């Protein structure tokens, strides 16, 4: 019965630890320093309680009654914690004003305040074990009895972690979970008090409790045992933190991952304590067993270092196969964690019963008494309490050391070595005490000593990329530019293979990509610019989440006075320097103030107010950053905004279900009455909220966009006008309620997005959300045009927005807006745009009809004339195109880009001299094809030299064009001429004059580029042999022209991966000597670095 009660004590204790740490982090911050401070305070209370009640335990005649009162006290105090925390905030703010000058002094202030909250309940928790140990005072096997008690309590802790992490918190939230735990405390307390009435133990007299003088040898042994117990706790805490940091890279930083890791750690302790308690009597030499246990912990922990690099392979394969099977993925996480933790923690669990047994029986397994064992039997509660408090003191030191000293100075792997060396040294110390072991002792001492040397001077090599499951699938082709084990997170920057002019970089935090220079670039830019363009004034700005610095750079492009950028992890700031070419070296801007702090902690303590706050933290389902998407955080942010200021919030809508996404938006809207929502193709939403109506003025937005730095930066997101900005618009204040509807809120108490989103990360949710939001927006306001403006203005606005949508390949959205615009303003512009959409969708007849309709409304509409003429020419109907182009050239002589097409039609009409004049005018807009038609015209005019020269220019221009297209695959895939050739071939249209042009285009442009794209794709997939075949083919096709091609870079890297150093060196040297890229380009830097590696390897080999 006692073990069952103590089992439920363990359940509630870990529920409280999880809940209270979450609540305290909301006040003190989520940095590693803050968490270490809170954990140290938590453990400190346990140690004090264990020592305090342990010293008094032997005076209690009814230990169960005392235990019951302790449980009632814990449960009763749990109700007070939320009120205590809220009352601490004003004190915390006041003390910050006094002590903010010193990080360490203020950390001490945090510790004291955490102690004020946690001391009483944790002290009561710490007192339960020594009080209950008193029940085993007259037990024949004290070590077994107390060990089993500890085992049941730890097993309860496992259930508490799993229950809280996987069931209670996701189902009930924090407050109801605490209420349930407190109720359970009350039930345990009352049952214990009732049970204790029939279980009284005689109280020892003062004389019986008086310490008995021990022989010097026994006193030394006892001190060694207590020191071993303390250092075991020290090492255990290091293992827990370090293993969690490593496994987070593989499993992710979610509540469920943390619960899995903590539960597995505790399960090992419970199993170990149970097994060693049950079988303890079978070991005649418990001190020898303790020495073996310490050595075993060190050995298996060291062995785990070799296992870690293999785990991402296993997990990545599981994700590929079972990404939609949540149960299998969860089970695999337990398997992965258990593979690392279980054996060492089982051995750790055996330390407690072994030490208690040795302290209370003098090392005998039979329980026989010796004369000197009287002291060991006297004051059992005191012995257990003291031992437990000393062990907990070790965990306190470990918690402090790992957070404030080891991780910041040594990193993850060397911190792990500190723990391994500690256990190995303890094993060595214990072996040295067993002088009666003879030769075996000498062998053991020598073996442990050798192990210490091996661990101290040998470190298994870890590939930082291989340790991250989300990067592992691309491991073979990634180039590691930055890796640092920061205070709170592990930060990585990698370079991906790319043919684009700009390098493709990704910044990952704990293995999860958080920013890049490709997919989410528009998001990073727009989340900075949107509030700056719409806020009434934007002079003082706060940016939360520095990341790559691109958003900070976007904000800094505006003429502001002050920009505070927050980042919780210093290593991220360091990594962001690699993104300086993309963020404009924003940290060098004197207006920018970098603050390394937790966002909520900063907002609680800062008195500053801002015109704009941009919040772009990590993902809302990650532990820590999840608290930056709650009602309380939004309210805190609003309190730091000036009236009318704008709060911009990023959130993704991929891998998140509708109830969770709507909960966040609904919560945001409950704090900010006026909300606009924008989106990007990366699957991101940008919420803009204000306490007042956000005035949308086209003229003011255009004025702000005209600032040169702003204009240049926005061009990276294809935004050139206020209408282009509105191509990313989704919902406004009048449509928000229609979309979110009634429902739950995302709060600190119930962080629904954190609890539920990890279950849907691999689901395709984007299309569902887009349909839902567009449905809510249907019939809504445009906002960019005022309701009282003329229909013509409204129609033109729809057309202008549609242009931006077409540019971004959103034809369906563009078509819908064009049709709305035509209803308001049936202009030729609308029909022409509709034709563009239909053309991109492959409906050529529909496009022609739309352009003909446009010309019926405006016979001289230039875009419609040109588009229809181009389509006729693609069909070979040059006679139909010529009158359209003649009209265009006559009525719009400024449209010089039409001159080339007019010249082509004139050529086919036999008007060669006029054709040559037009072609000469259209050169700048139609390279390289204009040179080919010039050669045809010169041929007709019998000017052979000029024809040959023009053909040479055509071939040279094709080569230059191919070089441009090498760095722009997307542009090549959308190339009109390539599509024209394909369409003509499909429809059996042959134009003899253009066959040679098409042949040259295919041979000099299309085929080499197809080989290049194919070879690069194979390289990215890690298929290096097929990649070299494709890339070598380009070199053959291009001949001398291959020297300046990017093909040399990827060919060199492919050779390197295949171990062919000589050709790799030659290709990379050619690339460096002839590349058109900027000498500072990261690919040139990588090529130089690789050549330097070859050089060092050659010297080393010689």
pLDDT single digits (tens) 763-794 = 889 989 999 998 998 877 889 988 889 999 99
CB-CB contact of 395 with 234 (8 Å): yes
Q: Which two tokens stand for residue 640?
A: 């730091």
Residue 693's pLDDT is what?
Answer: 93
d(CA 649, CA 472): 30
- For residue 25, what are the CA distances in angstroms to 17, 38, 40, 183? 12, 8, 14, 24
Please tell me the chain's helix, strand, coil percentages from 3-state DSSP, rounded to the nearest 5.
Answer: 70, 5, 20
Pick 197 or 945 by higher pLDDT.
945
* DSSP code per residue over 395-430: HHHHHHHIIIIIHHHH-HHHHHHHHHHHHHHHHHHH
pLDDT at 517: 92
Q: What angle do CA 521, 523, 524 make, to 5 degrees?
A: 65
Average pLDDT over residues 362-383: 49
Q: Is 611 helix (H, G, I), strand (E, B) or coil?
A: strand
pLDDT score for 30: 64
Q: What confidence tier does 201 reach under pLDDT thresholds 50, 70, 90? A: low
User: Averaged over 90-110, what is the pLDDT?
Assistant: 74
pLDDT tens digits, residue range 446-491?
Answer: 888 888 888 877 777 777 777 665 554 555 567 888 999 888 888 9
Q: Which whole number is the average pLDDT over 562-584?
A: 94
* Per-residue tokens: 527: 């989340």
User: Which of 98, 114, 116, 118 minimizes the C-alpha distance to 106?
Assistant: 98
Does the N-terminal peptide bond of residue 1059 adopt cis geometry, omega within 30 degrees of 0?
no
Token pair 């089992």 in the structure block, residue: 7
Residue 777's H or E segment, with its range, is helix 766-777
Per-residue confidence band for 1034, with pLDDT thresholds at 50, 70 and 90: confident
pLDDT (0 to 100) of residue 1083: 84
Pairing state of beta strands 540-544 and 610-615? parallel
Residues 654-696 have pLDDT tens digits of 989 999 999 999 999 999 999 999 999 889 999 999 999 998 8
- Give 482-538 pLDDT, tens digit per residue: 999 888 888 999 888 887 778 889 999 888 889 999 888 999 999 999 999 999 999
Q: Which two tokens stand for residue 697?
A: 């003025």
CB burial of 524-563 (b: ≥16 within 10 Å; e: otherwise) equals bbbbbbbbbbbbbebebbbbbbbbbbbbbbbbbbbebeeb
User: Is residue 724 over pLDDT 70?
Assistant: yes
Least confident of 182-186, 798-802, 995-999, 1039-1043: 1039-1043
State how far the Cα of 1051 lies from the Cα of 729, in Å rounded to an integer: 43
Q: How far apart are CA 267 and CA 248, in angstroms?
A: 19
Which residues sit opposite 579 in a β-bridge? none
CB 276 within 8 A of CB 346: no
Q: List the 479-485 sheet strands across, edge first.
A: 479-485, 490-496, 504-509, 512-516
Cα atoms in the Cβ-side hemisphere of radius 13 Å centred on 1029? 5
Banded pLDDT at 216 (limits 50, 70, 90)? low
Tokens of 386: 């003291």
Decide if 249 contacts 466 (C-beta within 8 A): no
**Which residue do the tokens 């009409």 mark?**
909
Which has more pLDDT, 994 or 302? 302
First and final C-alpha spacing in the chain: 74
State the Rg of the chain over Cα.
36
Does 950 score more than 70 pLDDT?
A: yes
For 808, how many CA atoms within 13 A lie in the half-sphere containing its CB? 25
Range name among 346-350, 839-843, 889-893, 1021-1025 with the lowest pLDDT average: 1021-1025
CB-CB neighbours of 644 under 10 Å: 16
Residues in the chain: 1102
8 A C-beta contact, residue 713 and residue 525: yes
12 C-beta neighbours (distance < 10 Å), count: 26
> Above 60 in pLDDT, residue 212?
no
- Segment 641-645 shows an average pLDDT of 96
Helix (H, G, I), strand (E, B) or coil at 672: coil
Q: Please report the pLDDT score of residue 215 as a whole number.
A: 52
Whether 200 has a pLDDT exceeding 80, the answer reads no
What CA–CA distance (Å, rounded) separates 541 from 543?
7
For the purposes of burial, counting CB atoms within 10 Å of the CB of 458, is it exposed (0-12), middle (13-18) or buried (19 or more)? exposed
Name the 3-class secondary structure at 1010: helix
* Residues 678 and 685 sit within 8 Å (Cβ to Cβ): yes
- Mean pLDDT score, 1030-1036: 88
Q: 493 has which bridge partners?
A: 482, 507
> What is the predicted pLDDT for the residue at 368?
42
Backbone angles phi, psi at 874, to 5 degrees: -60, -30
Residue 479 main-chain phi, psi, to 5 deg: -110, 115
Mean pLDDT score of the chain: 86
In percent, the amount of the chain with pLDDT more than 70 equals 92
Burial of 132 (0-12, 13-18, 19+ CB in 10 A): buried
Place of tokens 């337990």: 334
Lowest mean pLDDT among 195-209, 378-392, 735-749: 195-209
Crossing angle of helices 286-307 and 412-433, in 10° steps, is 160
Least confident of 309-318, 959-968, 981-990, 1019-1028: 309-318
Confidence check: pLDDT of 236 > 90: yes
Tell me the C-alpha distance between 150 and 139, whole Å. Answer: 16
Q: Find, among 377, 452, 399, 412, the residue nearest to 209 by Cα.
A: 377
Q: Closest Cα partner for 962 from 923, 921, 1013?
A: 1013
Average pLDDT over residues 628-647: 96
Instruction: Give pLDDT tens digits for 136-187.
Output: 765 555 667 778 888 898 999 999 999 999 999 999 999 999 999 999 999 9
Could you tell me whether strands 479-485 and 729-731 are parallel, antiparallel, or unpaired per DSSP bridges? unpaired
Counting beta carbons within 10 angstroms of the beta carbon of residue 864, is it exposed (0 to 12), middle (13 to 18) or buried (19 or more)? buried
Pick the range with the lowest mean pLDDT from 183-187, 718-722, 927-931. 927-931
């Amino acid at each position: 019965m006692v073990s069952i009660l103590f089992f439920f004590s363990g359940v509630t204790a870990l529920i409280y630890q999880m809940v209270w740490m979450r609540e305290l982090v909301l006040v003190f911050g989520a940095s590693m320093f803050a968490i270490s401070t809170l954990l140290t305070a938590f453990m400190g209370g346990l140690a004090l309680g264990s020592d305090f009640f342990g010293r008094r335990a032997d005076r209690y005649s009814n230990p169960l009654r005392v235990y019951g009162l302790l449980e009632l006290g814990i449960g009763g105090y749990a109700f007070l914690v939320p009120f205590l925390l809220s009352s601490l905030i004003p004190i915390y703010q006041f003390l910050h004003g006094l002590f903010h000058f010193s990080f360490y002094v203020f950390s001490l202030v945090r510790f004291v305040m955490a102690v004020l909250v946690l001391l009483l309940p944790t002290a009561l928790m710490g007192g339960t074990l020594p009080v209950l140990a008193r029940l085993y005072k007259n037990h024949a096997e004290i070590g077994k009895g107390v060990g089993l008690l500890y085992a049941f309590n730890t097993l309860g802790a496992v259930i508490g972690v799993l229950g809280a992490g996987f069931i209670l918190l996701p189902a009930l939230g924090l407050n109801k979970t605490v209420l349930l735990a407190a109720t359970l405390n009350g039930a345990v307390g009352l049952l214990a008090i009732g049970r204790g009435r029939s279980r009284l133990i005689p109280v020892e007299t003062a004389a019986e409790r008086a310490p008995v003088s021990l022989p010097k040898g026994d006193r030394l042994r006892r001190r060694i045992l207590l020191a071993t117990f303390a250092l075991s706790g020290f090492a255990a805490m290091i293992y827990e933190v370090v293993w969690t940091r490593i496994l987070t890279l593989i499993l992710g930083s979610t509540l469920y991952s943390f619960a899995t890791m903590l539960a597995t750690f505790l399960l090992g302790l419970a199993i170990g304590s149970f097994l060693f308690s049950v079988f303890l009597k079978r070991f005649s030499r418990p001190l020898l067993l303790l020495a073996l246990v310490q050595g075993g912990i060190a050995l298996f922990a060291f062995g785990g270092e070799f296992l870690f690099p293999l785990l991402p392979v296993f997990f990545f394969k599981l994700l590929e196969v079972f990404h939609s099977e949540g149960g299998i993925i969860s089970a695999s996480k337990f398997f992965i964690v258990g593979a690392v933790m279980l054996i060492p923690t089982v051995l750790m669990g055996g330390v407690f019963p072994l030490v208690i047994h040795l302290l209370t029986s003098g090392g005998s397994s039979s329980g026989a008494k010796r004369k000197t064992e009287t002291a060991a039997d006297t004051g059992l509660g005191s012995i257990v309490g003291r031992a437990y408090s000393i062990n907990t003191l070790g965990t306190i030191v470990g918690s402090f050391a790992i957070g404030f000293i080891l991780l910041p100075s040594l990193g993850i792997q060397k911190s792990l070595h500190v723990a391994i060396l500690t256990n190995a040294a303890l094993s060595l110390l214990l072996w040295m005490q067993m002088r009666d072991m003879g030769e075996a002792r000498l062998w053991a001492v020598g073996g442990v000593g050798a192990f210490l040397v091996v661990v101290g001077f040998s470190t298994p090599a870890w590939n930082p990329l291989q340790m991250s499951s989300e990067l592992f699938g691309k491991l073979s082709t990634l180039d590691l530019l930055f890796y640092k084990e920061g205070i709170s997170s592990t930060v990585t920057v990698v370079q991906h293979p790319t043919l684009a002019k700009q390098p493709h970089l990704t910044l990952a935090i704990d293995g999860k990509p958080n920013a890049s220079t490709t997919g989410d670039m528009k998001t990073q830019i727009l989340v900075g610019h949107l509030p700056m363009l719409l806020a009434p004034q934007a002079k003082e700005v706060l940016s939360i989440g520095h990341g790559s610095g691109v958003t900070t750079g976007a904000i800094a492009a505006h003429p502001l006075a002050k920009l505070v950028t927050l980042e919780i992890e210093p290593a991220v700031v360091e990594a962001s320097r690699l993104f300086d070419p993309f963020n404009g070296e924003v940290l060098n801007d004197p207006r920018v103030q970098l603050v390394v702090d937790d966002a909520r902690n900063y907002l609680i303590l800062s008195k500053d107010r801002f015109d704009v706050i941009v919040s772009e933290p990590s993902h809302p389902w990650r532990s820590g950053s999840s608290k930056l998407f709650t009602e309380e955080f939004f309210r805190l942010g609003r309190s730091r905004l000036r009236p009318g200021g704008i709060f911009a919030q990023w959130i993704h809508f991929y891998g998140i279900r509708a109830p969770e996404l709507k909960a966040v938006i609904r919560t945001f809207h409950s704090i900010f009455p006026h909300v606009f929502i924008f989106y990007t193709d990366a699957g991101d939403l940008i919420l803009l909220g204000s306490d007042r109506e956000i005035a949308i003025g086209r003229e003011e937005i255009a004025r702000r966009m005209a600032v040169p730095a702003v204009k240049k930066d926005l061009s990276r997101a294809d935004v050139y006008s206020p209408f282009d900005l509105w191509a990313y618009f989704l919902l406004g204040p009048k449509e928000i309620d229609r979309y979110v509807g009634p429902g739950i809120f995302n709060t600190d108490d119930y962080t629904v997005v954190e609890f539920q989103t990890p279950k849907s990360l691999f689901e395709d949710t984007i299309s569902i959300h887009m349909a839902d939001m567009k449905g809510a927006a249907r019939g809504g306001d445009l906002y960019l045009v005022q309701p009282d403006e003329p229909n013509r203005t409204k129609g033109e606005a729809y057309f202008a927005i549609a242009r931006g949508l077409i540019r971004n390949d959103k034809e369906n959205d563009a078509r819908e807006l064009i049709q709305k615009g035509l209803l308001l303003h049936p202009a030729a512009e609308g029909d022409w745009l509709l034709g563009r959409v239909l053309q991109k969708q492959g409906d050529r007849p529909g496009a022609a009809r739309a352009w003909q309709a446009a010309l019926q409304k405006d016979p001289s509409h230039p875009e419609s004339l040109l588009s229809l003429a181009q389509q006729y020419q693609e069909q070979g109907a040059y006679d139909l195109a010529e009158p359209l182009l003649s009209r265009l050239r006559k009525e719009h002589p400024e449209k010089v880009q039409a001159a080339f097409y007019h010249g082509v039609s004139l050529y086919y009409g036999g008007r060669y001299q006029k054709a040559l004049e037009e072609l000469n005018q259209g050169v700048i807009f139609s390279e390289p094809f204009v040179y080919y038609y010039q050669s045809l015209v010169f041929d007709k005019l019998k000017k052979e030299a000029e024809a040959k020269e023009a053909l040479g220019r055509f071939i040279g221009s094709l080569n230059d064009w191919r070089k441009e297209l090498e760095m722009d695959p997307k542009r090549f895939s959308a190339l009109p001429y390539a599509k024209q050739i394909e369409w003509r071939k499909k429809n059996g249209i042959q134009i003899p004059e253009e066959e040679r042009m098409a042949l040259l285009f295919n041979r000099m442009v299309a085929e080499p580029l197809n080989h290049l794209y194919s070879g690069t794709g194979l390289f990215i997939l890690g298929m290096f042999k097929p990649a070299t075949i494709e890339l070598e083919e380009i070199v053959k096709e291009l001949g001398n022209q291959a020297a300046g091609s990017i093909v040399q870079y990827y060919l060199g890297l492919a050779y390197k991966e295949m171990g062919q150093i000589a050709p790799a060196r030659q290709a990379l040297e050619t690339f460096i000597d002839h590349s058109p890229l900027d000498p500072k380009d990261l690919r040139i830097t990588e090529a130089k670095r690789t050549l330097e590696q070859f050089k060092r390897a050659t010297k080393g080999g010689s």
